Chain A
């Protein structure tokens, strides 16, 4: 099996080690016998190369870089991404990208910055006196997202294969958040997880991230996928499912190190 992974703006929107997400998707595909190609989508890339992809990743950015991306994403790549997400092609949007796929971002001064409107959410910056939400974060997955995509789908037997000493806490996600903006979800948009420790979307309602169709938006750096391999596998399996129009089960991998790193943070 073959998949193309679009990496949107690798030289502009990848500040907080987000490259790790792409490395993990690529390597886990490789270890599972799936031929994965990373397709860097830059400002200069043609929309066609984006359309040929089966999985999308877009990461965090600094303000200046995000401004440079702005027009290209809103006018050219964003509408294509929206169409792909609507079709069920899985995508992962982290931090600035998560804000960018909403309706708008309202800075503490100046006008609203429009988003691509792919997710029914908006983000506001509460003012320069407000604290940035920074720190390690642990959350419990509440979305319909099923992580059990490997082997016979039984998480317990899988953890036995990996390592009997390393529990596979695949109902949690762990990471590091660092954002000033507060994100609020529309009524129909499903949150990704419930925060157990940390701030999440806005530090008020106890939710973190959002899931729409097969796409995930999240504030998690760390980066997200290395220490949450169940999310990586879910994205890969969904990409294959949409592409090949059948449910795909991935071969089990030895993830003891992944779960050790995960469990250390719980």
Chain B
């Protein structure tokens, strides 16, 4: 209820209510996610990965809603624990009831283990809430005890569903991204592996209450490796016409996770995604359970997002109806004559560039910020293959680190127009493809539509 008040208060004051209601609620009750989680009638779906979380989770939501199911979703992209709790608070009644079939949440790479711990602790047989999540602040003892009791009562007293509640974890991919903030790809993968292992051992003990399903990309060796040791539904692309002629520089996982030898690729789609195998130990790309499906959005990366969403539909036995899908904010969103392609790391940027060039873009605006959500380190722009931009395309640059970007383009043989002011850069009658980092994308939306997020 306090969360609800905070939410309404912030909303009425004109703030985006992405994380604060959840943050406040978590301070009061660190196990609040638990009391929400147990209320979803059918299950919870977590979507994690470096790129594609927002689009994939929106696709899953669209598929479920097309069946008349009620879904709670963190649509604003606030994907830490506090953002997920905020999304629940937003949908909850004053008494804290949710009345929803599914929770569909995109989860930050580093937060996934914490969120999983929060959710899985509820399936302990004694119903006692435990949490190892180090992200949570120490609770105030009295409040904590009281609310814990509330959580327990809620758990015992609400046999809302006879069916097993499903917990589906979708692992999309892992690429280098904001190394100053996230750390290294391998470290994240290691944390995921530990969480998946502990979840599975819990799952075995408590099979009656809860059913865990893992969905993973077969084409990303790192993510597939995590899925190989579990009952996993794999998705992947089988399309030789989309193989790259040459491997990109921005790859992170082209050595076998099992034995350390260099992987052999029959073909690469982008970064380190492709048809891979290890000639030494025999570990290889698993056969995808789903490899066909029409993507509502252009770009090879969206084919992966679509396949992941289709896997969820398959696992839940619902039709994969994406006819009502509209792009998420900043992800191929069109505002007037401006098309926004969020591009926040080397692989994402390469994919956005390739897609807009395929779409026939003639005017590009690239915007580079170095704020906290973007990562303070802008070194990554040197891993992007700007060299692919043909000479007859006009390229403008803007953002906090406009000179860094102009300099990178100079060394790619492109003479970029430097725009100190973003609003001027957006003033055009032509069709403009904008590739911004995260905070820059919010600024672009603010200028064009008056709103940063939704």
Contact = CB atoms under 8 A, between A and B. Distances in A.
Interface of A: 10-12, 14-20, 23-24, 27, 43-44, 62-65, 67-68, 134-136, 176, 178, 221-223, 226-227, 257-258, 260-261, 264
Contacts of A44: 262
A135 B379 contact: no
B407 A261 contact: yes
B382 A62 contact: no
B179 A20 contact: no
B154 interface: no
A171 B252 CA distance: 35
B254 interface: yes
Interface stretch (B26-34, B180-188, B324-332): B180-188
Contacts of B381: 17
B383 A19 contact: yes
B376 A135 contact: yes
Nearest to B261: A68
B382 A20 contact: yes
B411 interface: yes
A43 B187 CA distance: 23
Interface in B366-391: 376-383
Contacts of B252: 62
Contacts, number: 85
Contacts of B20: none
A129 to B, nearest CB: 13
Given A20-B408, A134-B180, A222-B378, 5 more contacts: A11-B251, A17-B381, A223-B379, A261-B404, A264-B401
Contacts of B164: none
Interface residues of B, number: 30
A151 to B, nearest CB: 20
Contacts of A134: 180, 376-377
B383 A17 contact: yes
A103 B205 CA distance: 50
Contacts of B249: 10, 14, 19
Interface in B387-418: 401, 403-404, 406-408, 410-411
Contacts of A260: 403
B265 interface: no
Most buried by A among B184, B260, B401: B184
B238 to A, nearest CB: 25
B407 A257 contact: yes
Contacts of A221: 377, 379
Contacts of A68: 255, 260
Nearest to B381: A17
Contact of B407 (A10, A11, A67, A258): A258
A63 B186 contact: yes
B176 interface: yes
A64 B260 CA distance: 9
Contact of B254 (A11, A62, A178): A11
Nearest to A12: B255
Interface string B65-102: 00000000000000000000000000000000000000
A227 B405 CA distance: 11
Summarize A's interface: helix, strand, loop or mixed: mixed
A15 B184 contact: yes
A176 B404 contact: no
B409 to A, nearest CB: 9
Nearest to B185: A62
Contacts of B251: 11
Contacts of A14: 249
Given A62-B186, A221-B377, A261-B404, A19 B180 contact: no
Given A23-B382, A226-B408, A176 B403 contact: no
Contacts of B411: 20, 23-24, 27, 226
Given A11-B254, A63-B184, A65-B255, A16 B179 contact: yes
13 contacts: A11-B251, A19-B383, A43-B262, A63-B187, A68-B260, A134-B180, A176-B180, A176-B376, A176-B377, A221-B377, A258-B407, A261-B404, A264-B403
B404 A178 contact: no
B383 A178 contact: no
A226 B382 contact: yes
Given A27-B411, A62-B186, A258-B407, A19 B254 contact: no
A263 B382 CA distance: 19
A54 to B, nearest CB: 21
Nearest to B412: A23
A264 B403 CA distance: 8
Given A68-B255, A68-B260, A227 B404 contact: yes
B382 A19 contact: yes
Nearest to A257: B407
Contacts of B406: 257, 261
